[in-house]
Structure 1
Amino acid sequence: MLFAFICRDKPGHLQVRLDNRPDHVAFLNGLNAEGALKFAGPFLDDDGKPCGSLVVIEAADMDAARAVSAADPYARAGLFATVDIQPWNWTFNNPANA
């Protein structure tokens, strides 16, 4: 099952994001190598600076998805003000259906 992580950064925490980005990217690369990562990228503020994240993974269930979310270096660094984890159905433009 797919799960979308909709993460919003704490205000004024851009430096926390920048400082932890290499570990976050390595974490996502590991998920990608396992085949769990479907896509990911930052939300941008009005100035074009990152202010959150959208990450979609495949996981067995909500507990597994929560464990992945909690292991993200951004989450461990306290970057996020909120993290919403939702089951998600990739209906349009899903490459698995091409």
Structure 2
Amino acid sequence: MKFAVHCIDHEGKVADRVAYYEAHKSYLSQGPVATVISGPLLAEDNETMIGSLFVFEAEDLETVRRYNAADPFNKAGIWKTISIHPFLLRVDNRS
């Protein structure tokens, strides 16, 4: 089952994002959740990172919640809000 995860950072957390990026990236390659696609959300200047967006594949919603709670970005207090929803893929134009 797929899940969309939308995370918005606390203001002023860009330096923390950079500091924890390698740990976050490593974390996304392990565990009971498969990362289908992910990347940072950007401010309207198209440069400043303000959050994260993921599509995960996992057995159930609780698994995704636990996995996301243990993410280094979350443990470092970078994310202000986290929204997790089941996601039904209808169109995928990636080659």
Same fold by TM-score, threshold 0.5 exceeded? yes
Shift of 1:29: 2.4
Residues 94, 70 of structure 1: alpha-carbon distance in 2 compared, 3 angstrom cutoff: farther
Q: Which amino acid aligns with 1:9?
A: D
Aligned-residue CA RMSD in angstroms? 1.9
Q: Which amino acid aligns with 2:65?
A: R
Residues 87, 76 of structure 1: alpha-carbon distance in 2 compared, 3 angstrom cutoff: same
Structure 2 counterpart of 1:69? 68
Identify which of 31, 39, 42 aligns with 1:41: 39
Q: What TM-score do the two structures reach when normalised by structure 2?
A: 0.89
Deviations 1:12-49, CA, capped at 9 Å, x for gaps: 11111111001001111225xx7711110000112311
Where does structure 1 differ by over 6 angstroms across 4 or more consecutive aligned residues? none
Q: Which amino acid aligns with 1:41?
A: G
Deviations 1:47-75, CA, capped at 9 Å, x for gaps: 31111000111111111110111111100
Residue 30 of structure 2 aligns to a residue whose secondary structure is helix
Q: What TM-score do the two structures reach when normalised by structure 1?
A: 0.86
Residues 61, 94 of structure 1: alpha-carbon distance in 2 compared, 3 angstrom cutoff: farther
Q: Calculate percent identity across the aligned residue pairs.
A: 34
Find the aligned partners of 1:69 and 1:63 in 2 and give their Cα distance: 10
Q: Structure 2, unaligned stretches of length 5 or more? A: none
Instruction: Give the number of the structure whose residues are more often helix, by fraction.
Output: 1
Shift of 1:94: 6.7
Q: Structure 1, unaligned stretches of length 5 or more? A: none
Structure 1 counterpart of 2:28? 28
